[in-house]
Structure 1
């Protein structure tokens, strides 16, 4: 199916049917973006004649794409019927795959979440993680009162960069075995729906730009810090991907080697990356090295921040060190992208109350390029809501074509 490169609308060979289809799509999009409207108002807004608008609305109503939303009594003239988009005309699935948790949401075409699941990621193999995603998705679909056939499209957010040729992700270092080709095709086949795959930081950036702290920004960056580290960049509403989809993989940037620890012999330690030194595991290692009580494998980054709030000196020092390392990441990002806002999100983003002030101070010491810093407003839902939003954008023209084509056959 061919689509218009800007609007995403289905494109069919030129004929009278195409003209009607374009009119219907135009009205549907106007109702979607502008809310409920009368036939007379739609005619004024589009320049179409009232009979054309009435005929197109009748077809859209027959297709289950619009519905009557009530009546409005103008100051003059007859009472008018208001029309609005039917959000239940189709449903989508959003998935957020993290090392610690798997999150799934079913939403209608308005992006309203109607069912969701959040489960611990206990998969020891890539296949086990894929199976857990499918199980959680099926539970959410059933809870929503739907069947798998009602889901038009699914978008999966994952660490790493999607490689379309090999049908797998690259650079998903936090999920061993996750880069194996065929895993996402397996998920799609098990769910019986078309699946798209996107980087989790990119989806979080879209979610935060649309619904959160990035609204109104010209050049917006979302810094996702959890078990891994990545960046999503949105410019004037458009996600920037780079030539190979790897724009924002700042966690891969190498750092200078460290000298040997005191009392150790040997060469410099390295190589290291920003992700190794600034992701959640690094905070835990730093806190334990500085003397915080606990043992590796049992202390979490969340625990370190809790202890820092309680006044634990070692934990507070570890948090300050994390702010210094994140400032280096933001300095690199600022030199390359020059964002006006950088939002701190991901698991460590939940501790922005402790991180933002020392991060800003460290950034001032490092570089004259200083974007505004902000905490995520969407929190742990940023990736999931970005996946839902992306799935809706993909599904809307697909639902339109399916339902209107069915009437015209």
Structure 2
């Protein structure tokens, strides 16, 4: 999957426009119709990335003749893929009509399904969010969580003035690893029952679009979101460290998401830590996730004398206020995360590491001690950054991923209807 270029979160990702016509998926044999289709796709992508543009600018930038550009623009307008965006009056010469890609030609749906919250966003083809929902996850069973996600998505779709059929593609972010053969999520311990086969087919049926839902690991989507819209800009090898109810790593190299042979790359939190203190309620050797997640911060703080009720957020808030027990809990969290980061840095040699997830909201307290802990363990010196997208990283990654599939699909469907 290609993560697109970067702008702000309400703008379309920027991709470098290809200098020559690029075949669409499945197009192998060149003929007159396909050449025309590829010219139209080339111009549409140019308009999406660099528009609004005039006919003359498009001809100059692409090397296509002006008659070819005019014919392709007429076809794109007829298909509802491009539209006039105004006029430009130069100091000399005739007024030029400007064109842009029509963002309302299609829409996508992004879902972020986590243990604590459900987030949903509907976006047009430019990547602009047109409706969203953000609510606590109160589901007590896997089916209840799935149904709550569907209900939130239906509300967002209706708010956007759309029907389920208007959604070209849906991507859902979830903890764990997606198994396409079983059609289920594996290794999602924080969502009990979430590995049951058929659960995401239930979500797809509930959405009523007639299309399957693409499922991806939440840390991977967060990495795509941050690379596309946030702190990953300009990075050659970018790592997103997602720390919240769990621990995961997403890796983007030169715009490509690295998922591993079985989709499980970055599941750092599953590593067992023999010889470490066993947290209360944990049997056997603890996992790395059980020592650095939000629950681990709370357990550490309670062990240092802080009193319930307590959340990780409260621990960090009290550390900011000068509470010594809270400050020590934060220091220990940074030290443990530093160990995890040293492993990542040694294996991948990233130039940028972004701290995100619920714990990432407290990067103001964690980045400096985390950097010190890393330097104690490793000679590697990646730049550490706080997430710029906050809690929206997974959701925006789902949107960006959905757009990668939706844009060519919408183009093919609309151009086929006028052929």
Q: TM-score, normalised by structure 2?
A: 0.91
Q: Is the 8 A contact 2:147 2:203 kept in 1?
A: yes
| Aligned counterpart, 1:95 | 111
The answer on 1:198 being equivalent to 2:209 is no
Distance 1:47 1:368 in 2: 49
| Aligned counterpart, 2:128 | 112
* Superposition map of 1:10-409 within 5 A: 10-12=25-27, 13-193=29-209, 194=211, 195-258=213-276, 270-294=284-308, 298-408=309-419
**C-alpha deviation, 1:8, in angstroms:** 7.8
Residue by residue, what CA displacement relative to the aligned partner does 1:83-140 show, whole Å, maximum 9, x if unpaired? 0000000000000011000000000000000000001100010000000000000000
Give the secondary structure class of the aligned counterpart of 2:134.
strand
**C-alpha deviation, 1:366, in angstroms:** 1.2
Q: Is the 8 A contact 2:22 2:38 kept in 1?
A: no
Root mean square deviation of aligned Cα: 1.6
Residue by residue, what CA displacement relative to the aligned partner does 1:284-329 show, whole Å, maximum 9, x if unpaired? 00000100121xxx42111111111111111111111000110011
Q: TM-score, normalised by structure 1?
A: 0.94
Q: Is the 8 A contact 2:23 2:38 kept in 1?
A: no
Q: Is the 8 A contact 1:201 1:223 kept in 2?
A: yes
Of stretches 225-234 and 245-254 in structure 1, the one that deviates more from structure 2 is 245-254
Q: Is the 8 A contact 1:96 1:157 kept in 2?
A: yes
Of stretches 373-382 and 301-310 in structure 1, the one that deviates more from structure 2 is 301-310
Residue by residue, what CA displacement relative to the aligned partner does 1:21-52 show, whole Å, maximum 9, x if unpaired? 11101110111111211111111111111111
Distance 1:368 1:347 in 2: 28
Of stretches 343-352 and 244-253 in structure 1, the one that deviates more from structure 2 is 244-253
**C-alpha deviation, 1:158, in angstroms:** 0.5
| Aligned counterpart, 2:24 | 9
- Runs of 4+ deviating beyond 6 Å: none
Structure 1 unmatched runs, 5+? 1-5, 262-268
| Aligned counterpart, 2:15 | none
Say if 1:289 and 1:406 are closer, same or farther in 2 by CA, change over 3 A: same
Distance 2:285 2:22 in 1: 46
Q: Is the 8 A contact 1:257 1:270 kept in 2?
A: no
How many residues end up aligned between the 2 structures? Answer: 394
Q: Is the 8 A contact 1:258 1:270 kept in 2?
A: no
**C-alpha deviation, 1:396, in angstroms:** 0.3
Q: Is the 8 A contact 2:367 2:384 kept in 1?
A: yes
Distance 1:134 1:22 in 2: 36
Q: Is the 8 A contact 1:292 1:312 kept in 2?
A: no
Give the secondary structure class of the aligned counterpart of 1:326.
helix
Structure 2 unmatched runs, 5+? 1-20
